[in-house]
Chains A and B, each alone.
Chain A
Amino acid sequence: MSKIFEYVWLIPVLPLAGFLINGLGRKSLSRTLSGFIGTAVILASFIISLFIFFEVKEHGGQNVQLFNFIDVAGLHIDFAFKLDALSSLFLLIITGIGSLIHLYSTAYMHDEAPKDFAKYFSYLNLFIFSMLLLVMGSNFVIMFMGWEGVGLCSYLLIGFWFKNNSYNKAANKAFIMNRIGDLGFLLALFWLIAKVHSVDFDVVFSEAALKSLSTTDITGITLLLFLGATGKSAQIPLYTWLPDAMAGPTPVSALIHAATMVTAGIYMIARSNLLFSLAPYTQGVITVIGLATALLAASIATRQNDIKKVLAYSTVSQLGFMFLALGTGNYIAAVFHVLTHAFFKALMFLGSGSVIHAMGGEQDIRKMGGLHKHMKITSITFLIGCLAISGIPMFSGFFSKDQILLGVFEKNGGMIYGVALFAALLTAYYMFRLYFTTFTGSFRGTDEQQHHLHESPAAMTVPLIILAVLSIIGGYVGIPESLGGHHELAAFLSPVVKPMIVAEPTTFRIEYLLIGLSTCLIIVSVLLAWVYFRFRKFDQEPTGFAKVLQEKWYVDEIYDAVIVKPLGAISRFFNNVIEKKGIDGFVNGIGKAVNYGSRQMRLLQSGSVGSYVLMMVLGILVLLIVQLFYKG
Chain B
Amino acid sequence: MNLSEHITFPHLLICIPLIAGLMVFFAGKDSVAKACALLAALLTLAVSISSLFYKDNANLNGTAYTYEWLKYLGSSFSVTLDGMGRLLTFLTAVAFPVIFIATYKNTYKSANAFYGLMLLTQAGLMGVFTANDAMLFYFFWELALVPVYFLCSRWGGERRIQATFKFFVYTFAGSLLMLTGIIFIYLHTSPTTNLAHEIVSDHSFSWQAFASARLEASDQNWLFWLFFIAFAIKMPIFPFHTWQPDAYEQSPAPATMVLSGIMVKMGLFGVIKWLLPVLPLASAKYSSIAIVLSVTGMIYASCIAIVQDSLKRLVAYSSIAHIGLMCAAVFSKSEIGMQGVMVQMFNHGINIIGLWIVIELIEKQLGVKKISELGGVAHKAPVLTILLVIIALANIALPLTNAFVGEFMMFTGLYHFNGWITAIAGLSIILAAVYTLNMIKNVFLGEANPVTSMIKDISLNEKLILIVVVLFIFVIGVYPQPMLDMAKDTVKVIMSKW
Contacts and interface: CB of A to CB of B under 8 A. Distances in A.
B426 A575 contact: no
B445 A187 contact: no
Contacts of B239: 583
A164 B241 CA distance: 37
Among A180, A186, A189, A583, chain B packs the most CB atoms within 10 A around the CB of A186
A572 B307 contact: yes
Contacts of A571: 303-304, 306-307
Contact of A149 (B400, B427, B492): B400
A179 B430 contact: yes
A152 B300 contact: no
Q: Which size class do A's interface residues fall under?
A: 35 or more
Interface residues of B, number: 56
B434 interface: yes
A148 interface: yes
A617 interface: no
B412 A193 contact: yes
Contact of A162 (B378, B393, B429): B378
Contacts of B422: 187, 190
A432 to B, nearest CB: 38
A247 to B, nearest CB: 13
Contacts of A183: 423, 426-427, 429-430
A69 B433 contact: no
A5 interface: no
A199 B47 CA distance: 39
Interface in A52-111: 67-75, 79
Contacts of A572: 307
A601 B108 CA distance: 43
B445 A70 contact: no
A75 B416 CA distance: 12
Interface string A162-193: 11110011011001100110110011011101
B441 A568 contact: no
B399 interface: yes
B396 to A, nearest CB: 9
Given A163-B447, A172-B438, A194-B415, A74 B306 contact: no
B481 A68 contact: yes
Nearest to A190: B415
Contact of A75 (B336, B438, B488): B336
Contacts of B412: 75, 189-190, 193-194
Among B308, B393, B423, chain A packs the most CB atoms within 10 A around the CB of B423
Given A175-B437, A176-B437, A575 B446 contact: no
A72 B484 contact: yes
A191 B437 CA distance: 28
B361 to A, nearest CB: 19
B307 A72 contact: no
Contacts of B306: 567-568, 571
B399 A149 contact: yes
Interface in A559-601: 567-568, 570-572, 574-575, 578-579, 583-584, 587-588, 591
A525 to B, nearest CB: 40
A176 B484 contact: no
A347 to B, nearest CB: 32
Interface stretch (B18-26, B57-65, B263-271, B403-411): B403-411
A187 B430 CA distance: 13
26 contacts: A69-B480, A70-B405, A71-B481, A72-B488, A73-B491, A75-B412, A141-B399, A145-B400, A152-B393, A162-B378, A162-B444, A162-B446, A165-B445, A165-B446, A171-B437, A172-B437, A176-B437, A179-B433, A182-B429, A183-B427, A183-B429, A186-B411, A187-B426, A189-B412, A190-B411, A190-B412
Given A73-B336, A148-B398, A587-B243, 18 more contacts: A72-B491, A75-B409, A147-B399, A148-B399, A159-B441, A163-B446, A163-B447, A176-B430, A183-B430, A186-B426, A186-B429, A187-B419, A187-B422, A190-B422, A194-B412, A579-B242, A579-B304, A583-B242
Interface of B: 166, 170, 239, 241-243, 300, 303-304, 306-308, 334-336, 339, 376, 378-379, 393, 398-400, 404-405, 408-409, 411-412, 414-416, 419, 422-423, 426-427, 429-430, 433-434, 437-438, 441, 444-447, 478-481, 484, 488, 491-492
